[in-house]
Structure 1
Amino acid sequence: MNLLLVTAHPDTGSFNFAMRERAQTVARRLGLGLQYSDLYQQGFSPVPGRADFQTFPEDQLLQLGSAQREAARHGGFAADIAAEQDKLRWADAVLLQFPLWWSGYPAMLKGWIERVLSLGFAYGPDPTLEPRALIMALTTGGATDAEDARATEAHVRSQLAQPVFGYMGWGAPRLHLVHGPARMSEAERVQALQHYEQWLEAELQTLRASAR
């Protein structure tokens, strides 16, 4: 099984990147194929526009969906988008690792979704990419209690995952949230990372078994 690990955090010293390293460890321990998209670190542009395409007439109105559909048909995407789409074709499962900012995706990840998971490639009448297994691993600023944590999880599922990945037919994500790592002691952070590693290994083993 092949795993694409997509990280959207600007600081490699963050708890998000510590989770990324644990995911890498688990994937290697299980013998999975592994590729990365560290969006901030690779300088990925999150802004859709004419530069998304190898050629686009200057005098033509940009209708993004229509332009994406044509590029998907004829291989006309810009190199950075094509590279990300190649990774998705290779992957059996995608792990999105990111912080929850203002109750949503970081702008970098939202831009990756808009530019890479494009009409004709990931969704539409005849997309060329089949649905992938989805894992989402998030950090939040914190939860006041168990009810607040459950509400945040419900929000992620209904307002982030379903409108994008459910719409594309990928189904419900395997979801893991870590609340308030910045407020944790070092011992608590270590424990949270260990818990994540154990959870992720179990989820990946289940996915690999179901793919056989």
Structure 2
Amino acid sequence: METKNIYLIWAHPRRDSLTAQVVKEIQQQAEDQQITVDTLDLYRMDFDPVLRMQDEPDWANPHKTYAPEVHKLFAQMQGHDTAVIVFPVWWYSFPAILKGYIDRVWNNGLVYGEGGALPFKKIRWVALVGGAEDKFELYGWRKNMSDYLINVAGYLGVTDVDVTYLYNTIGVEEDIDNREEHYQALFTQSREMVKTL
């Protein structure tokens, strides 16, 4: 199935971060391919990642009403066939704001459970890893993270899933002679991901 529209979710506190630049590259490539992109910038919208009692799943009540923000963000996902989720890897995981978004918005009765359905047919995770690829591989983090991200999507019924890793985004674990060239290669990798949609 050819991608028609993307819901691009991203998380980084700085607008001028490498993560933000990768988001711009993805947006531009999608525009070049005439793919519509709607972007959810979790930090700029000041999303509250804390799952409070109101948003706790109630397994006995799949029709539970959650916080208005949750229902608003769930409604914003509708009509998109692909989710692209861009984030820096912090402590071998998501930023808390992104984990909180998944906890609160990808909720029972909305995206899974009785009456729930995630609208996406494809999910692409784009993870910016601060360190070098060989160390990330050596300690099993790539496998652990890939298994986790693919299984989350699979639990929600999405089987067309892939994870793109952009390595050495801090630039301290490998000998990089030309930092600009290195970052341009990461941008190219991001654009290539969009071309496969």
Normalised by the length of structure 1, the TM-score is: 0.79
In structure 1, list runs of 5 or more residues that go unmatched: 53-62, 205-212
**Which amino acid in structure 1 is aligned with residue 76 of structure 2?**
K
User: Could you tell me which residue of structure 2 aligns to residue 207 of structure 1?
Assistant: none
Which residue of 1 is the match for residue 66 of structure 2? 77
Bigger fraction of residues in helix: 1
User: Partners in 2 of 1:115 and 1:97 — Cα distance?
Assistant: 18
Residue 119 of structure 1, CA deviation: 0.3
Q: Which residue type is aligned with residue 33 of structure 2?
A: L
Of the three residues 162, 184, 191, the one matched with 2:185 is 191
Q: Cα distance 1:11–1:68, how it changes in 2: closer, same or farther (>3 A)? A: farther
Which residue matches 2:34?
Answer: 31
CA displacement at 1:68 relative to structure 2: 7.1
Distance 1:86 1:194, change over 3 A: same
Secondary structure, counterpart of 1:173 in structure 2: strand
Letter in 1 for 2:161: P
Aligned equivalent of 2:132: 143
1:65 aligned partner: 58
Q: CA RMSD in A?
A: 2.3
Q: Identify the residue that residue 88 of structure 1 maps to in structure 2.
A: 77
Q: Is the 8 A contact 1:95 1:137 kept in 2?
A: yes
Contact 1:157 1:172 in 2 (8 A): no
Offset at 1:179? Answer: 1.1
The one-letter amino acid of 2:24's match is E
- After TM superposition, the structure 1 = structure 2 runs for residues 10-159 of structure 1, keeping only pairs within 5 Å, are 10-50=13-53, 52=55, 64-66=57-59, 69-71=62-64, 76-143=65-132, 145=134, 148=137, 151-159=140-148
Which shows bigger deviation, 4-13 or 172-181? Answer: 172-181
How far is 1:173 from its partner? 1.9
Tell me the alpha carbon deviations over residues 8-62 of structure 1, each in whole angstroms, 9 at most, x when there is no partner. Answer: 111111111111000110111111121111101110111112454xxxxxxxxxx
Q: CA deviation at 1:67?
A: 8.1
* Residues 10, 42 of structure 2: 8 Å contact kept: yes
- C-alpha deviation, 1:196, in angstroms: 2.0
Deviation at 1:123, TM superposition (A): 0.9
Which blocks of at least 5 consecutive residues in structure 2 are unaligned?
A: none
Letter in 2 for 1:173: V
Residues 104/19 of structure 1: CA separation in 2 closer, same or farther (3 Å cut): same
Identity of aligned residues (%): 24
Q: Is 1:65–1:118's contact at 8 Å kept on the other side of the alignment?
A: no
